[in-house]
Structures are given as C-alpha cells and as structure tokens.
Amino acid sequence: METQGRIVIAGGTGFLGRNLARYLTGQNYEVTILSRHQPQTKGDWRYVNWDARSLGSWVSELKQAAALVNLAGRTVDCIKTPDHCDEILRSRVEATDVLGKAVRQLDSPPPVWVQMSTAHRYGDPPECICDEDSAFGYGLAPFVAQEWEAAFQRAVLPQMRQVILRTSFVIGRDGGALQRLSKLVRWGLGGTVGHGRQGMSWIHEQDMNRLFHRAITNQTMQGAYLATAPEPVSNAEFMRALRNALKMPIGLPALSWMVRLGAPLLMRTDPELALYGRYCISRRLKEENFEFQFPDLDSALQNIYHR
C-alpha cells in the first residue's frame, strides 16, 4: 500500500512524540523521529540522531517530507534551578532555530510546519477563561513560550503553512504527568492541592493526535490554536474525577506549604506546576468545528483507565 508521505517529528521520543508517531504510522504515514536518544519503545518509525543544535546529515530527512512537527524541548517537570531554566529555554529556541536553517537548505521543504507551544503562555490567571486572543501572562513559562514562538516565526519559511498548537495538560495512561498523579491517588494522597480552585486545562491523548493530524492535512488551519478540551476544570474537580476513575474513595488533601516542601524534596519537581493553573477554551477550534472525541473529563478518564 502506498504511504501517505513522510512526517518528520523533531524531539519525538517523549510521551507526545511516541504517541503521535504511533498514530501517524497507523494512518499509513512514514515517520522519522529526530532525537538525541533512541525512543524507549519500538515502533514502525525511523529514528535519526540529532543534537537539536547543529546541522548534519539529518537534514536530508526533511527533503520532500509531507510535514515537519517540532516538539523539541527539555521537560518542565523539574526543579527550576537556574541551569534547568536555561536548558528549558535554550533547548526550545536552539532546536527551532536549527530546523529553520535546515529547511533553507532544501529545494523542496515540507509544505507545513506544525510547531508545539504551551497554553502556559497565558500565565496563571486565577479565574478568567483564556482563549487565543487573551492577554499573555507573566513569568518564566510565558516568557519561554514567547521566545519559542518568536524563534518559530524567524525560522519558518514564508511559503510553509504555519500552525502553532499551544498545548494544555495532555492526559494518557502511558506517560506524562497523569502517571504521577495516578500513583498519588492510589496511595491515598490524591486530594485537593492547595486551595483547589486553580484551573486545569487538559486534552485526551487521542484528541491531541487527531489535532496534530488535522494541522498536518487541513489546508485551512493557519496560525495559533489552543490545544485543549472545551471543558477545563478546577484542581479539586480534576482530582475528584481521577479518584472516581481509579475507584479510590479517599484522597488526603495537600496544603500549599506541604506542596512547596514536598514537591522538590520528594518528587523532584516544581511546586508551582500543581499550585497554579489556567482555564483555557479554544475559540478557534470551536469556530472551525473540530469535534473532540473526549470533550469532558469523566469520559476521558474512563477511556484511559477502563478501555
């Protein structure tokens, strides 16, 4: 059977990249993953090593590719030391810059570049609901998102269709932060975090893959989109739904001071990832009639844990 074309996923060995690679190969695409390290799992994709910083033989993978998807960037699930903050920013900007240099070496660059960004660009407003037109936030994560998207605008060729997906919390069984949260729930520690009113904008992994596929194939998609389900919830609601999905009747709450002490000491991560959040709904996806398979949290979690 003739393939649909080749998709190059830069930074494709993480949770999102592996999921997307499986999905696209299932849709009869050839997939090339560019990464510093081999994927942890095997699949029907081609792995090519790159350092996400300098040009090399990997550039040839982009010749006549159907699309470039850039997911490259150091995880933010870490303690925010100065070194880690520098790596979080530099890994995103440098990878995007070198991809821009690569496409400029090609006679036939990919016709579309799908660029990942983050819904954290809107900061951590305590109550307002953000869409694509909302004011951007203040702090490390919004600054990183700003520089990431600015690097993309410098790097992308004018003739390439450009799609930015400002991604929220992607939930799936086999990776990402939901694995960590589900362990806490099973240990009886999955109660409300802090005051519990902080927003949790989320999207099921299958809808995330479908959104990437739409961005690759739908010629009308252009510009920045919030990649998030239409029903964000509070932290208290999210943890309650997760306890119900895992059939855990109790969950001890974590007060803010406990999180600030325990997150860096016990979980080696930033407490603000749990203590702050945002409510995001995509105006553009609604206007363009994107249909979510899992628009509400209960159905999404039931699919993940009871399929």
Give the percent of the chain with pLDDT over 90: 91
Sheet with strand 30-35: strands edge to edge: 46-49, 30-35, 6-10, 67-70, 112-118, 161-167, 223-227
Residue 228 has pLDDT above 90, yes or no: yes
Count of CB atoms situated within 10 Å of the CB of 119 = 27
CATH of 6-172+203-227, one of 3.40.50.300, 3.20.20.60, 3.40.50.720, 3.10.310.50: 3.40.50.720
- Mean pLDDT of the 196-217 span: 98
Could you tell me the pTM of the whole model? Answer: 0.96
- Encoded tokens for 80: 């925010």
List pLDDT tens digits, range 113-158. 999 999 999 999 988 999 999 999 999 999 999 999 999 999 999 9
Instruction: Tell me the C-alpha to C-alpha distance, in Å, between residue 189 and each of 137, 218, 265, 305.
Output: 31, 43, 16, 18
- Encoded tokens for 282: 């995509």
- Nearest to 119, CA basis, from 203, 218, 197: 203
Which residue in this structure is represented by tokens 């605008």? 153
Count of CB atoms situated within 10 Å of the CB of 148 = 25
Position 1 scores a pLDDT of 61
DSSP letter assigned to residue 14: S
Spatial neighbors of 237 by CB under 8 A, at least 6 apart, are 200, 297
Work out the angle between the directed axes of helices 235-245 and 177-186 (0-180°, nearest 10): 70
Burial class, 12, CB count within 10 angstroms (exposed 0-12 / middle 13-18 / buried 19+): buried
Is residue 103 within 8 Å of 252, Cβ to Cβ? no
- Encoded tokens for 86: 């520098």
- Nearest to 71, CA basis, from 19, 132, 109: 19
Q: Alpha-carbon distance 227 to 22, whole Å?
A: 19
Is residue 30 within 8 Å of 6, Cβ to Cβ? yes
Residue 241 has pLDDT above 70, yes or no: yes
Residue type, 175: G
Instruction: Tell me the C-alpha to C-alpha distance, in Å, between residue 42 and each of 46, 51, 174, 208, 296.
Output: 10, 21, 14, 21, 32
- Mean pLDDT of the 218-243 span: 98
List pLDDT tens digits, range 175-205. 888 998 999 999 999 999 999 999 999 999 9
Give the percent of the chain with pLDDT over 70: 100
Q: Alpha-carbon distance 137 to 144, whole Å?
A: 11
